[in-house]
């Protein structure tokens, strides 16, 4: 698989930005002239923005608003079993860097499987395993307040969804 990544960074500080923007574009190609067992093309884009809120009543509240939007798409091509995407290369959301109300990679399509680690047949449990998808969207909005000594607090909201196929398009 070939993977290209373009990043444009206009933030004032990469670790604790208070103003500026950040953008990334990632393209990946598998199969075709690269051979391999799967044929697909993947694209992901993300844009972030940071802005200090103006002073209120001559006081410096040091409030920062941060926003991020992004999404990805995977398009299998060709015919037969090679026109597919392995689970490890699919799109996933959830966890501390995407949609924080969900466990890591838990937001999106899942498959049902049976836990066979229990020796008794009656003790087998049905579990959901994340399967990922071919299309996703993501949005985050934060209001950050820097307190002292590198400590800050934030109020945030996150949205996102992963679709198993390209049919929503």
Structural domains of the chain, ranges and CATH numbers in brackets: 2-102+132-163 (2.40.160.50)
Q: Which residues contact 41 (CB under 8 A, 6 or more apart)?
A: 27, 28, 29, 30, 74, 75, 77
For residue 155, which of 63, 70, 47, 93 has the smallest C-alpha distance? Answer: 63
* pLDDT of amino acid 128: 84
Query: Bridge-partner residues for 51, per DSSP?
Result: 65
* pLDDT of amino acid 35: 87
* pLDDT of amino acid 150: 77
b or e along 85-104 (b: 16 or more beta carbons within 10 Å of the residue's beta carbon)?
Answer: beeeebbbbbeeebbeeeee
Opening angle at CA 116, ends 122 and 103, nearest 5: 110
Query: Bridge-partner residues for 76, per DSSP?
Result: 40
From first to last of its 169 residues, what are the pLDDT tens digits of the chain?
999 999 999 999 998 898 999 999 999 999 988 888 999 999 999 999 999 887 655 666 678 999 999 999 999 999 899 999 999 999 999 999 999 989 999 998 898 888 766 665 555 678 888 999 999 999 999 999 888 887 889 999 999 999 999 876 6
* pLDDT of amino acid 56: 58
* pLDDT of amino acid 158: 96
Assess contact for 107 and 132: CB atoms under 8 A.
no
State whether residue 123 is helix, strand or coil: helix
- Alpha carbon 19 to its chain centroid, in Å, reads 22
Assess contact for 27 and 1: CB atoms under 8 A.
no
* pLDDT of amino acid 140: 97
For residue 4, which of 31, 35, 28, 32 has the smallest C-alpha distance? Answer: 28
């Amino acid at each position: 698989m070939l993977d290209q990544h373009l990043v444009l960074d206009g933030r004032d500080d990469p670790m604790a930005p208070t103003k500026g923007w950040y953008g990334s574009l990632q393209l990946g190609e598998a199969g075709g002239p690269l051979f391999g067992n799967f044929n697909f093309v993947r694209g992901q884009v993300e844009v972030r923005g940071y802005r200090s809120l103006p002073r209120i009543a001559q006081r410096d509240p040091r409030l920062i608003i941060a926003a991020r939007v992004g999404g990805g798409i995977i398009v299998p091509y060709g015919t037969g079993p090679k026109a597919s995407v392995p689970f490890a290369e699919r799109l996933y959301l959830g966890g501390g860097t995407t949609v924080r109300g969900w466990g890591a990679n838990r937001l999106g399509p899942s498959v049902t499987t049976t836990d066979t680690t229990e020796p008794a047949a009656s003790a087998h449990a049905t579990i959901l395993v994340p399967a990922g998808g071919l299309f996703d969207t993501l949005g985050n909005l934060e209001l950050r307040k820097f307190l002292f000594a590198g400590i800050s607090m934030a109020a945030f909201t996150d949205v996102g969804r992963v679709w198993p196929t390209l049919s929503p398009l």
